[in-house]
Amino acid sequence: MTKLSYALVFVSDMERSVAFYRGVLGWPVTCESPERTELAAEGTTLASHYASKPSGAAAVQGEIAGRCQLGLWVEDVEAFHQDMVARGTLCIQPPTEDAFWAKVAVYADPDGLPFSVAGCLKEGPADQGLLGSER
């Protein structure tokens, strides 16, 4: 099995994006230059690069080929949701139970890139599966 070691995110405003990923999600900067910034995301690196063209708010809606959606695992989705709302983060889908015994919410970063957040609703397959944390 291969391990995901990094994800590339193309951004329109590096300073604003780094402020979001570092300040809101709490990921420390590990490498920084005018053209790119890398942040440590618990075993994975998020590499931010300048985009050649900015995306529009309409791009947030739907699953578009050629885009990326980050997935995060948290212990308490409701608490995470309250924190995101308090910080003014755009919520695309509030916390909702899914078919895999998990609670999932979807937010957008400053460029409109969606990211999902999941956590266990109750004991079941989600704590061992695709979304699951190592328990």
Residue 25 scores a pLDDT above 60: yes
Tell me the pLDDT band of 101, cut-offs 50, 70 and 90: confident
Q: What percent of the chain has pLDDT over 90?
A: 38
Among 53-62, 68-77, 110-119, which stretch is predicted with the lowest mean pLDDT?
A: 53-62
Residue 66 scores a pLDDT above 50: yes
Other Cβ atoms less than 10 A from the Cβ of 51: the count is 15
pLDDT tens-digit readout, 11-20? 888 999 999 9
Three state DSSP letters for 72-96: EECCCHHHHHHHHHHCCCEEEEEEE
Q: Is pLDDT larger for residue 58 or for residue 112?
A: 112
Domains of the chain (ranges plus CATH)? Answer: 1-52 (3.10.180.10), 68-135 (3.10.180.10)
